[in-house]
Chain A
Amino acid sequence: MAQVVAVIASTHHPFYYRASTAVGEERPPFADEWVAKIERFRETLTRARPDVLVMVGSDHFHQLWLDNMPQFLVGKAPTYDANWYNEEREFGLPRFRLDGHEELSSHILRGGLDSGFDLAFSNELRIDHSITCPIITLRPQADLPIVPIYTNIFAPPLPQPKRFVELGRAIRELVESWPSDQRVAIIGTGHLSLELGGPRQFGPHGPDPEFDQRAVQWIANGDLDGCLREVSLDSLHLPGNATHGFMDFMLMMGVAGENAKADHVDSLDLFHTMEAYFTWYPNGAPA
């Protein structure tokens, strides 16, 4: 069976690409520290020597729209074009292409449908920065096939937080039941506290640093009990109006497992939102 060689959860900051490539007066003062942290984080994936990446993210009203909105969607395509005009425009993100892995997509779709998740699918999906940011930070050579999985953290009504956790557990089981000798890394990105388009946006820190500290502890310790006790669809409005993206971190906690302590934990307090990076090695840290 396939092996899950790394589980990775990260924020996805669309400004990283521009900050990390800027030079001279354009280069922000926090760029060097940010790049150093990302390079250490990247090494945690490189060491795991993955063959294929399952990538969990959330479309930001690019392809998925309110006239036909899936809650959970699995891409099943041979190729994925990446990034959109408004992401080039606002963030300077480059366009590129990634190979798909249709066999693993099919396995996840079939197994998910048979175990209680009525997953939507897409045979032609252009992916956005929720998936391309971790490619840029963790695998900039963009040389591995992916299975993209989109969640709705954006357009209410949303699934409950516990459902994200349950889907994460299911994804882990499905990958581990895939009859293959491939080495799979499961990577998901979300947010800590975040405000977009509201009065608390673009402050000197994230909108709720206290929530961020608790969230990092929940994730680092795999504290699903504590997290699920405190987090609800209603409560997530309080730290910032885009904080429902934290549910993708909860999904990744489901992938990593109850009380699974992360092998790599790092964070960076930036303007607007806190960055946070986590890696688990389910089979022990690679040599």
Chain B
Amino acid sequence: MSKYLLNKFLFTVDRDADLVERYREDSSGLVAWWEETQANRILNVTDGEASTWLGFTDEERGALVAHDHVALFELGAHPFLTLTLFIAMFERDHPEPLSYQKGYGAALAHLSLPYPDIAT
């Protein structure tokens, strides 16, 4: 399990407007591209000095492809990263103010404390 890599995906997609749109429109294509070309990039290092060992588990990849914020929460992805990116992708489909955010929380209502550990 790689909470770090899930977070790295959420972080690098969220900060790039084009990637946000690609992830919204074609999640399986974007996740496959990202895992192939981006997962092992060290963010402030040149491409020739990439890492060699990072990849998603099937469960992690599936949660990302399914845009499944509940599964990401249960896997220990950082909730702030997930929330911020998912608001960017899907709030536009819910015109009533804060209705997307409220529904997002309601989908997690079955969870009780302690929440899944987010330490990386």
Interface residues of A (CB under 8 A from B): 60-62, 65-68, 84-86, 89-90, 154-157, 195-203, 237-238, 241-242, 271
Given contacts A199-B111, A237-B113, contact A242 B80 (CB under 8 A): yes
A-B contact count (CB 8 A): 78
Given contacts A198-B111, A202-B101, contact A61 B88 (CB under 8 A): no
Q: Is B118 an interface residue (CB 8 A)?
A: yes
Q: In whole angstroms, what is the CA distance A241 to B112 when docked? A: 11
Note all chain B residues with C-beta closer than 8 A to A203.
105
Pair B7/A66 contact, Cβ less than 8 Å: yes
Q: In whole angstroms, what is the CA distance A195 to B102 when docked? A: 12
Pair B80/A60 contact, Cβ less than 8 Å: yes
Given contacts A66-B4, A66-B7, A202-B102, contact A238 B113 (CB under 8 A): yes
Q: In whole angstroms, what is the CA distance A9 to B108 when docked? A: 32
Q: Whole-angstrom distance from the CB of A270 to the nearest CB of chain B?
A: 12
Q: Whole-angstrom distance from the CB of A114 to the nearest CB of chain B?
A: 29
Pair A65/B15 contact, Cβ less than 8 Å: no
Pair A200/B11 contact, Cβ less than 8 Å: no
- Which residues of B from 82 to 98 have beta carbons under 8 Å from A? 82-84, 87-88, 98
- Which residues of B from 65 to 90 have beta carbons under 8 Å from A? 69, 73, 78-84, 87-88
14 contacts between A and B (CB under 8 A): A61-B80, A67-B42, A68-B44, A85-B15, A85-B17, A86-B14, A86-B15, A90-B87, A199-B106, A199-B108, A199-B109, A199-B111, A201-B83, A202-B98
Note all chain A residues with C-beta closer than 8 A to B80.
60-61, 154, 196-197, 242
Note all chain A residues with C-beta closer than 8 A to B42.
67
Interface centre among A66, A68, A157, A198, by most B CB within 10 Å? Answer: A198
Note all chain A residues with C-beta closer than 8 A to B37.
none
Q: In whole angstroms, what is the CA distance A203 to B109 when docked? A: 12
Note all chain B residues with C-beta closer than 8 A to A195.
105
Q: Is B50 an interface residue (CB 8 A)?
A: no
Q: Whole-angstrom distance from the CB of B77 to the nearest CB of chain A?
A: 9
